Amino acid sequence: MSLSNKVPWKQLNSIMDLKSKIIKQPLISEKGTDLGGINKYIFLTHSGANKNQIKEAIESIYKVHVMDVNVVRNKKKANEYKKAIVTIKAGETIDVIPH
């Protein structure tokens, strides 16, 4: 799913829609807020997304450099999702709380 110069202009909107569907929402909690101090952020993601897709989606949506992605799966039948802990480059931040 990497973007290249060969992607037709009409398909760019569908690729951006796909990336916004990979990342459901940032997870705002006490632990998540504490991890923000060491450049780690937690996101709820689509259950079928892999680490590379999550990395590309975060980089394109938030315009940051992702250094590492760790994934935790939740296998409850009613609410299946993945939780991604994303480490970004030092000096960059993600504003997950809207003002």
Q: What is the mean pLDDT of residues 7-21?
A: 55
Tell me the pLDDT tens digit for each residue of 64-95: 999 999 999 887 766 778 899 999 999 998 88
Mean pLDDT across the chain, nearest whole number? Answer: 80
Tell me the CA end-to-end span of the chain in Å, nearest whole number: 32
CB-based contacts of 21, cutoff 8 Å, min separation 6:
46
45 class by beta-carbon count within 10 Å (0-12 exposed, 13-18 middle, 19+ buried): buried
- For the chain, list the domains and their CATH numbers: 26-99 (3.30.70.330)
Other Cβ atoms within 10 Å of 36 Cβ, number: 19
Q: What is the mean pLDDT of residues 32-37?
A: 86
The rounded percent of the chain whose pLDDT value lies above 70 is: 77
Q: Give residue for tokens 């459901």.
A: 24
Please give the pLDDT value at position 15.
53
**Amino acid identity at 11:** Q
